[in-house]
Amino acid sequence: MSAGRPLALAWYGGVLGGLLPILLLGFIYSAVADRTVFALWGLVLGIFWVALLRQGLAAGWGRLRLLATLALLAAAGLGVFALLESRHHEILDLGFRAVFPAFYDPLATAPRTAAILAGACAVVGAVLFPLSRRLEIR
C-alpha cells in the first residue's frame, strides 16, 4: 500500500460523500422550484467544502478535526438552505408535488427538516472538535 493511498481515499471520500450530495441537492431543488438560488447555494457551499477539504488534508489535520470542521460547515450550509426553503416554500412544495408525486412528503420541503439537520451537524462538529484537540495533545 502506497503512502499516498490514505490521502487519496480521504480526498475522494470527501468529494463523493460531501460535494456530490451538496450539488445534487442544490440542482434538484433548483429544478423542482424553478429557482436558481438553490443551484447557487450548492455551488457556493461546494466551493467552500472542497477548499476546506483540501486545506485540511494539505495541513495534515487529523480525521476527527477535519470531520468536525466539515460538519460545522455543513451545519452553516444547511442553515442557509433552511432559510432558502422558508422563502421559497410554496413554489418548492408545488414543484416537488408535480415532479416527484410518488416520492412527495411534506418533510422534504419543510424548512424545519433542513434546520434539524443543520442542528445535528452542529452538534457533531461541536462534539468532535474538542475531542480531536484532546487527541492531538496526547
Domain span at residue 124? 5-137
Per-chain mean pLDDT for the chain: 93
| Cell numbers placing 114 | 433542513
CA proximity to 129, closest of 76, 71, 79, 77: 71
Q: Measure the CA–CA gap between 132 and 67, rounded to whole angstroms.
A: 9
Q: How many domains does the chain have?
A: 1
Query: Looking at residue 138, what is its pLDDT?
Result: 55
What predicted TM-score, i.e. pTM, was given to this entire model?
Answer: 0.91
End-to-end Cα separation, the chain, in angstroms? 27
Q: Is the pLDDT of residue 116 over 80?
A: yes
**Per-residue confidence band for 137, with pLDDT thresholds at 50, 70 and 90:** low
Contact assessment for residue 33 and residue 89, using Cβ atoms and an 8 Å cutoff: no
pLDDT > 70 fraction of the chain, expressed in percent and rounded: 96
Q: Measure the CA–CA gap between 5 and 126, rounded to whole angstroms.
A: 29
